[in-house]
């Protein structure tokens, strides 16, 4: 049985080309980039090349607008804390109810322990931001607006360019958690009003434990980590040279294959959704059907538990997840689906299938062959299901 991996929003396989590029920097070219001797200079040159590759992927105007970090979580924390420090006299943050815990957990802490006022903007049943509520929350008290570019669970894409313009109208900084967008969507930051952007290498076939924070030139900033002079004094600590070099190669590969990969993933995603909707009753696709990541499909199967579905899928050699990977061990419905007002009977049975450029048609055929029987067998054990159909209280979305 050939395994099928459809959990690429949690992490991706590191490309062999990325691994090959990294290996020499563990044993042969092992110098510290901060050193002035030849060993360090050689590594320093490789880091500059990697920085330029990432610059090209995200459309930054200058390569020094990129600060390497340990990942998306550090980048998010750095952006938020920096904004609160530099925007004197402003103590409010605007974010959404469907952000990643790396944003929401910090906002909860700041609200509880540091007196920061947090506005959490709601979304509709398709995960789209309530723009009117956002406009109402904007004021000259807001230090930072932080909205994700694309949702990690539903794939819904926010119109971050326009949201950034609105933030600037009241003098606030704008940050976007683009962890799920980079490498999947075309990004051209130099032609936006976005001040800061977070990304993570392992979401587009680079190594784990490495990310970056884009900081637009001229944006006031305070480091989260202080110490050495690395990253122009904006992020202390010896650079993780092998990982940065790997990220650079992954960025090059993502930029070169994005158009082809996008077309293939959309076709496979649509085949998956159409096949399941036709063969499995009482299920629906979540998220914006028109403005969504090309690789992401979260399908809510009513009247059964998502954890049970995942166990059955795993036994069949298929990897998927129930909402965010960071909360997949919890029996509570996803905070994203709760914010979308998806009923309890459906939110508990939501499964996220996330594809990559490596996903094949055979992978999708395997899922379509296995899932209907899994759902049927689990519903036979559900107290909310009968041979005549679902019990009252079901949910019929506006689209299905």
Quick one: DSSP state of residue 387? T
Q: Closest by alpha carbon to 48, among 244, 269, 310, 281?
A: 244
* CA separation, residue 69 to residues 131, 205, 264 (Å): 31, 17, 31
User: By 3-state DSSP, what share of the chain in percent is helix, strand and coil, each rounded to 5?
Assistant: 45, 15, 40
Cβ neighbours of 360 (radius 10 Å): 13
d(CA 242, CA 88) in angstroms, rounded, equals 38
Q: Which stretches of 35-116 are assigned E, i.e. beta strand?
A: 66-69, 92-96
283 has catalytic annotation = no
Q: Specify whether the CB–CB gap between 137 and 128 falls below 8 A.
A: no
Q: Specify whether the CB–CB gap between 171 and 211 falls below 8 A.
A: no
**Phi/psi at 288 (5° precision):** -75, 120
d(CA 213, CA 231) in angstroms, rounded, equals 11
Half-sphere exposure of 134 (CA within 13 A, CB side): 25
d(CA 31, CA 35) in angstroms, rounded, equals 7
Half-sphere exposure of 69 (CA within 13 A, CB side): 27
The residue from 225, 326, 376, 390 that is catalytic is: 326
Q: Closest by alpha carbon to 92, among 172, 195, 176, 178?
A: 172
* CA separation, residue 174 to residues 143, 305, 341 (Å): 9, 38, 27
Catalytic residues: 326
């Amino acid at each position: 049985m050939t395994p099928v991996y459809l959990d690429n929003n949690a992490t991706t396989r590191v490309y062999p080309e990325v691994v090959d590029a990294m290996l020499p920097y563990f044993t042969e070219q092992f110098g510290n980039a901060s050193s002035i001797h030849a060993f360090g200079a050689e590594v320093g040159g490789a880091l500059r090349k990697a920085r330029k590759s990432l610059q090209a992927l995200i459309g930054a105007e200058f390569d020094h607008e990129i600060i390497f970090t340990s990942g998306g979580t550090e980048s998010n924390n750095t952006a938020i804390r920096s904004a609160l420090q530099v925007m004197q006299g402003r103590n409010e943050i605007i974010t959404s109810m469907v952000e990643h815990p790396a944003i929401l957990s910090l906002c909860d802490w700041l609200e509880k322990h540091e007196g920061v006022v947090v506005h959490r903007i709601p979304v509709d049943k398709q995960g789209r931001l309530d723009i009117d509520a956002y406009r109402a929350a904007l004021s000259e008290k807001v230090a930072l607006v932080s909205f994700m570019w694309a949702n990690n669970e539903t794939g819904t894409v926010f119109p971050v360019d326009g949201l950034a313009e609105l933030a600037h109208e009241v003098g606030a900084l704008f940050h976007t958690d683009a962890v799920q967008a980079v490498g999947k969507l075309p990004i051209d930051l130099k032609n936006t009003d976005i001040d800061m952007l977070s990304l993570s290498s392992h979401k587009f076939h680079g190594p784990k434990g490495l990310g970056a924070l884009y900081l637009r030139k001229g944006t006031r900033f305070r480091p989260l980590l202080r110490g050495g002079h690395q990253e122009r004094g904006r992020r202390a600590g010896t650079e993780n040279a092998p990982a940065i070099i790997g990220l650079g190669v992954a960025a090059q590969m993502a930029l070169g294959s994005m158009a082809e990969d996008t077309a293939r993933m959309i076709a496979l995603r649509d085949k998956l959704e159409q096949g399941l909707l036709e063969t499995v009753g009482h299920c629906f696709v979540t998220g914006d059907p028109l403005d969504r990541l090309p690789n992401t499909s979260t399908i809510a199967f009513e009247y059964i538990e998502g954890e049970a579905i995942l166990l059955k899928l795993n036994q069949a050699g298929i990897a998927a997840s129930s909402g965010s990977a960071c909360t997949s061990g919890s029996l509570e419905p996803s905070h994203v689906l709760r914010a979308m007002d998806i009923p309890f009977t459906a939110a508990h049975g939501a499964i996220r299938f996330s594809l990559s450029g490596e996903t094949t048609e055979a992978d999708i055929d395997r899922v379509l062959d296995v899932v209907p029987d899994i759902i049927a067998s689990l519903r036979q054990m559900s107290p909310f299901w009968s041979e005549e159909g679902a019990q009252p209280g079901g949910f019929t979305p506006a689209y299905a």
